[in-house]
Amino acid sequence: MSKTKTKFVCQECGYETPKWMGKCPGCGNWNTLVEEIIETHRMGGRSLTTKQNKALPISQVQSEREPRIRTGMDELDRVLGGGIVPGSLILVGGDPGIGKSTILLQMSHFLAHSKHKVLYTSGEESTKQVKLRAERLGANNDDLFVLSETNIETIEEQLNEINPRVVVVDSIQTMFHPTVTSAPGSVSQVRECCAHLMRIAKTKEIAIMIVGHVTKQGEIAGPRLLEHMVDTVLYFEGERHNTYRILRSVKNRFGSTHEMGIFEMMEKGLREVSNPSELFLSERSIAAGATVVASMEGTRPVLVELQALVTPTSFPSPRRTATGVDYNRVALIMAVLEKRVGMLLQNQDAFVNVAGGVRLDEPAIDLAIAVSIASSFRNRATQADDVVLGEIGLTGEVRGISRIEQRVKEAQKLGFKRVIIPEKNLAGWEHPRGIELIPVKTVEDALREALGG
Output the known binding site. Answer: 94-101
Phi and psi at 451, nearest 5°, equal -110, 0
> Dihedral of CA 272/275/278/280: which sign?
positive
Q: Are 366 and 397 in contact (CB under 8 A)?
A: no
Q: Collect all residues with Cβ–Cβ distance below 8 Å to 279 and sequence separation of at least 6.
A: 244, 262, 273, 356
Q: Can you tell me the distance from the alpha carbon of 122 to that of 160, in angstroms, rounded to the nearest whole number?
A: 17
Q: Can you tell me the distance from the alpha carbon of 172 to that of 399, in angstroms, rounded to the nearest whole number?
A: 45
Tallying the residues shown for the chain, one arrives at 453
Name the CA radius of gyration of the chain, rounded: 26
Q: CA 83, 88, 92 angle in degrees (round to 5)?
A: 75
| Integer angstrom CA distances of residue 6 from 3, 150, 191 | 10, 25, 18
Give 168's strand partners: 120, 209
Q: Can you tell me the distance from the alpha carbon of 229 to that of 252, in angstroms, rounded to the nearest whole number?
A: 12
Q: Is 147 left (phi over 0), alpha (psi -120 to 50) or beta?
A: beta
Annotated binding residues for ATP: 94-101
